[in-house]
Amino acid sequence: MVYIETTGSHAAGARITEIAILIHNGKKVIEEYQSLVNPDCPIPYAIQTLTGIDNEMVADAPYFSDIAEDVYHLLQGKVFVAHNVNFDYSFIHRELKQAEYEWEAPKLCTVRLSRKLLPGFSSYSLGNLCRQVGIPLSDRHRAMGDVRATSILFDKLLDADSETGLITKSLQEKRQHKLPTQLSQAQVDKLPETAGVYTFKDSKGKIIYVGKAVNLKKRVLSHFSGNSSSLRRQEFINDIAHIDFLESGTELMALLMECQLIKKHWPIHNQAQKKYEPKFTLFHYEDMRGYSRLAISKVSALIKGVQYFENATNANQFLNKLISTYQISTACCSFYTPGTTEKVMRSESTTMELPDREQHNATIDTILTTLREQQRSFILIDQGRHETENSYIYFKEEKLFAFGFVEELNQWAEAEDVVSYRDKCITNNYMQELVLKYAEENPSKVRYLSAIKSV
């Protein structure tokens, strides 16, 4: 059994101020160890108030490096038992590693075990649990007082487990000790080893993370491996109370489903998708004199673009190619120049001779019609989530329009035979590029559509 006091809540940014270890042989405590620890940094006043350990008390205490050898030999080859085990384990693992001791141990959490073996309590904090089951607790928030209470609690858990064998089973299943305190093993056991998306929810049912996987069970378990001590990771792990999942059939569908869920819920632990989005657009407008004009601009919600580009160079080159191919007047075209304002960029030239308006506008109409006709529309049919089902992706006029699942398709002629309006999606350029790349690599799964009816 182990209990520590610290200067803060996460191992990456805080240090140990006191440690207590009880060696338990499964029947009783056979050895005790306790020491104050000089954290080599000031102890915050709030922590001093909580624990009673102040800077003066630890001034002459050993640094952790001074006691690392003793701690290592006490814990080596033992099962690491603690109340909210990941907290204590992360601090001690980090301190031993800094002292050049490579140490790993199987873990048991008395919080998790208490929820299973002593069900029905509103709170499973050490103080509340001790009051509820009649465990004396002296020297609260001091390492030795708390670890002795944890030891008594562990004895009660052993008695309560005499028939179920849960503790033995937990030690045999190495993956069990890696799970967050609030997450049950039963939820993980339900995860399939297929492609799909998963969501982590907190205790209030709020989605806090969305992920995708080729193997759902393997990917979810990977979140709970390793010993990262960062505050962000500890908060993430501690928040997880429930897992939901949706199978997808293919990895591409999983990627698209993941994007949709993130855009819908914006979970707190998902980093923003830093994928390429187009920054520039070619757009068309008519000036006050009735001339059709083409211009390159930065993407704006106020501008409906004809074509989109990653950068200004590609956009300007595209417009220049149109000018060369269709012999349109540069007096009616505006290139993007860094540092120019929209007003200057879109200004209508008065120094250059304008072409015949009707002929020029007819040429622009031809260009716009050609660009519209070049927009790709197709349906990509792939495997579904089971043998009698297909997944589909509907790409309409150069944009991802919908994706979903249908019962196995034998023959179909129109988009309406496949696409359901409820599957219409919110898209972005990242999702569209994923689909286009997959379609290019798997042409046999794609049917291009020449005439698209509205869906």
Tell me the per-residue pLDDT of 176-208, one tens digit each, with 9 for 90 and over: 446 787 888 889 889 999 999 999 999 899 999
Q: What is 185-265's CATH superfamily?
A: GIY-YIG endonuclease (3.40.1440.10)
pLDDT score recorded for residue 173: 57
pLDDT at 270 over 80: yes
| CA 100 to centroid of chain Cα atoms | 32
pLDDT for position 452: 44
Band of pLDDT at residue 251, cut at 50, 70 and 90: very high
Count the Cβ atoms, other than its own, within 10 Å of residue 3.
Answer: 25
pLDDT confidence of residue 168: 73
Q: What is the mean pLDDT of residues 124-136?
A: 90
What are the residue boundaries of the structural domains of the chain, listed by start?
2-178, 185-265, 280-373, 378-448
**Alpha helix locations (H) across 102-184?**
110-117, 126-133, 143-160, 166-172
Share of the chain above pLDDT 70, in %: 91
The better pLDDT of the pair 450, 204 is held by 204
Output phi, psi for 343, to 5 deg: -65, -45
Q: Return the C-alpha torsion angle 325, 327, 333, 337, nearest 10.
A: 50
Assess whether pLDDT exceeds 80 at residue 334.
yes
- Of 3.30.420.10, 3.30.70.920, 3.40.50.720, 3.20.20.70, the CATH number of 2-178 is 3.30.420.10
Average pLDDT of the chain is 86
- CA 348, CA 286: separation in Å to the nearest integer? 10
Domain 2-178 shares a fold with domain 185-265: no
Rounded to whole angstroms, the Cα distance separating 89 from 97 reads 12
For the entire predicted model, the pTM comes to 0.54
Going by pLDDT thresholds of 50, 70 and 90, the confidence category of residue 75 is very high
**CB–CB of 378/448 below 8 Å?**
yes
Q: 236-240, 358-362, 373-377: which range is least confident on average?
A: 373-377
Residue 447 to residue 454: CA distance in whole angstroms: 17
